[in-house]
C-alpha cells in the first residue's frame, strides 16, 4: 500500500460507481492559480502547441512543468495505481477544458477506452491494452477554479460504466462536443485565418473549407453563415437519449481538488452561468503495459483527433 492508496472499500465503491472523489491534490493555491491562468491563456489566445505545431489544448504537461507537477502528485498516482491493482502506470494524455461564461458545457458521453476519434468519425486507436477484458484507462479531472452549481460542474451517471450507450453521428454543430467558434470572431481576416490554419474547430481540418467561396464581396455575417453551412458536412457523435433514473451525481469541487473516473462512465458538464471561465484540466492514465499509439511504429503519426503525434511521449509514474 502506498500512502494515498484507496482502501479496499473505496476500490469496491469505484468499481460499483465508475468514479470516486473529490480528493484534495494538496498543492499550494498559487500553483493552481498559475495553471488556471495559463490554461485560460492557452484557450483564449489559441496558443500554438510546440508539440503539435498548431493550436491544441492537449498535452501541455509535456511542455510545462507546472502541469506535470499536478499529475505527478502522490495524491493522484497512489490512488490511480491502487485501482489498477498496484501496477505501475503511465500518463499518456492531458487536456485543458475551459467552459466560457454562457458556455453550454459538454453533452453526455462515454469513451470505451480506445480513444480512436470515434466521436468525430475516425477509427485510429490510441491505446492497445495487454488485457481487453478490463477497463484500461482512468481519467483524473482537476478543478483549477472553484466549481459551483452555476460554474459548469461535472456530472456522472453512477454505475453507467458497465453499459455502452448508443451514439449516433449528427452534423458536428449538433454534437455533444461542439463549441460555437463564431461568437468571439470580429473580423473577416480573423475568420479566414482561423479556418485556413484549422484553429477554428478543435480536432478538425478546415484548411479547404473556404475553397470556391468568393470572400471579398460578402460581409462577416454572411461569411459566418456560409461557413456554418459548410461545417454541416463534418459529423460528430451525440449519445441517444437515455433514462438517468437516480444515478445522476453533480460534483461541486474546490479548486485544486480532483475526481478519478473511468472514461466509460457516462459524464457531462453543465452550462456556465457565471461571469467567468470554468477552468479544469484532465489527465489520462493507463497501466504501464498498455501500448500507446500502436500505429506509430508502422509510421502512422496522425491520431484520431487529427494531431501529428510524432513528438508525443508517455510519462511513466510509479
Ligand atoms: O470538463 C469538461 O467540461 C468535460 C471533461 C470531460 O469530458 C473529460 O474529462 O473526459
Ligand atoms: Fe469526457
Q: Are 124 and 134 in contact (CB under 8 A)?
A: no
Q: What is the mean pLDDT of the chain?
A: 94
Could you tell me if 301 and 252 lie in one domain?
yes
Ligand 1 centroid distance, CA of 109 (Å): 9
Could you tell me if 252 and 151 lie in one domain?
yes
Per-residue model confidence (pLDDT) at position 216: 85
Provide the Cα torsion 35, 41, 46, 48; round to 10°: -60
Assign 10 a pLDDT band (cuts: 50, 70, 90).
Answer: very high
Could you tell me if 198 and 297 lie in one domain?
no
Q: Is the pLDDT of residue 245 over 80?
A: no
Number of domains in the chain: 2
Ligand 2 centroid distance, CA of 138 (Å): 11
* Ligand 1 atom 6 nearest Cα: 268
Q: Is the pLDDT of residue 213 over 80?
A: yes
Could you tell me if 150 and 191 lie in one domain?
no
Could you tell me if 30 and 149 lie in one domain?
yes
Ligand 1 centroid distance, CA of 187 (Å): 30
Assign 56 a pLDDT band (cuts: 50, 70, 90).
Answer: very high
Ligand closest in space to the Cα of 281: 1
What are the CA-CA distances from residue 279 to residues 154, 223, 308 (Å)? 12, 31, 26
Could you tell me if 125 and 195 lie in one domain?
no
Last residue of a domain, one of 236, 261, 288: 236
* Helix (H), strand (E) counts: the chain: 6, 15
CA–CA dist 311, 296 (Å, integer) = 11
The closest alpha carbon to 261, from 98, 79, 96, 114, belongs to 79
Locus of grid cell 453512477 = 158
pLDDT digits (tens, 9 = 90+) for 180-189: 889 889 999 9
**Residue 96 main-chain phi, psi, to 5 deg:** -85, 135
Report which ligand 1 atom has the smallest distance to the Cα of 99: 3
Could you tell me if 75 and 44 lie in one domain?
yes
Which residue range forms the structural domain that includes residue 32?
A: 8-163+247-317
Could you tell me if 69 and 215 lie in one domain?
no
* Ligand 1 atom 7 nearest Cα: 268
Last residue of a domain, one of 211, 236, 261: 236
Those residues with Cβ within 8 angstroms of residue 150's Cβ, 6 or more apart along the chain or in another chain: 272, 273, 274
CA–CA dist 148, 134 (Å, integer) = 34
In a domain, 241, yes or no: no
Cis ω before 22 (30° cut-off from 0): yes
Question: Which grid cell is 91?
Answer: 500518463
- Site residues for ligand 1, CB cut-off 6 Å: 97, 99, 105-106, 139, 141, 267, 269, 280, 282
Amino acid at each position: 500500500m502506498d500512502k494515498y492508496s484507496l482502501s479496499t472499500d473505496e476500490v469496491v465503491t469505484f468499481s460499483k460507481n465508475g468514479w470516486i472523489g473529490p480528493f484534495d491534490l494538496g498543492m499550494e493555491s498559487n500553483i493552481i492559480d498559475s495553471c488556471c491562468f495559463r490554461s485560460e491563456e492557452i484557450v483564449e489566445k489559441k496558443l500554438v502547441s510546440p508539440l503539435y505545431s498548431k493550436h491544441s489544448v492537449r498535452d501541455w504537461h509535456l511542455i510545462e512543468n507546472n502541469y506535470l507537477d499536478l499529475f505527478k502528485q502522490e495524491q493522484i498516482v497512489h490512488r490511480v495505481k491502487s485501482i489498477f491493482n498496484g501496477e505501475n502506470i503511465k500518463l499518456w494524455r492531458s487536456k485543458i477544458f475551459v467552459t466560457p461564461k454562457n458556455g453550454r458545457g459538454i453533452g453526455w458521453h462515454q469513451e470505451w477506452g480506445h480513444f480512436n476519434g470515434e466521436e468525430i468519425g475516425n477509427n485510429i486507436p490510441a491505446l492497445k491494452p495487454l488485457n481487453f477484458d478490463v477497463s484500461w484507462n482512468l481519467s483524473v479531472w482537476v478543478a483549477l477554479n472553484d466549481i459551483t452549481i452555476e460554474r459548469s460542474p461535472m456530472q456522472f451517471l453512477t454505475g453507467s460504466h458497465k453499459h455502452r450507450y448508443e451514439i449516433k453521428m449528427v452534423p458536428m454543430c449538433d454534437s455533444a462536443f461542439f463549441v460555437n467558434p463564431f461568437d468571439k470572431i470580429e473580423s473577416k481576416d480573423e475568420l479566414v485565418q482561423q479556418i485556413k490554419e484549422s484553429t477554428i474547430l478543435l480536432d478538425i481540418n478546415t484548411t479547404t473549407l473556404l475553397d470556391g467561396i468568393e470572400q471579398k464581396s460578402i460581409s462577416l455575417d454572411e461569411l459566418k453563415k456560409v461557413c456554418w453551412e459548410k461545417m454541416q458536412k463534418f459529423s460528430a457523435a451525440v449519445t441517444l437519449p437515455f433514462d438517468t433514473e437516480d444515478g445522476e451525481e453533480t460534483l461541486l469541487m474546490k479548486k485544486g481538488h480532483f475526481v478519478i473516473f473511468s472514461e466509460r462512465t457516462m459524464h457531462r458538464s453543465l452550462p456556465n452561468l457565471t461571469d467567468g471561465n470554468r477552468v479544469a484540466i484532465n489527465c489520462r492514465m493507463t497501466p504501464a503495459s498498455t501500448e500507446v499509439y500502436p500505429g506509430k511504429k508502422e509510421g502512422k503519426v496522425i491520431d484520431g483527433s487529427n494531431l501529428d503525434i510524432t513528438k508525443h511521449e508517455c510519462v511513466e509514474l510509479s
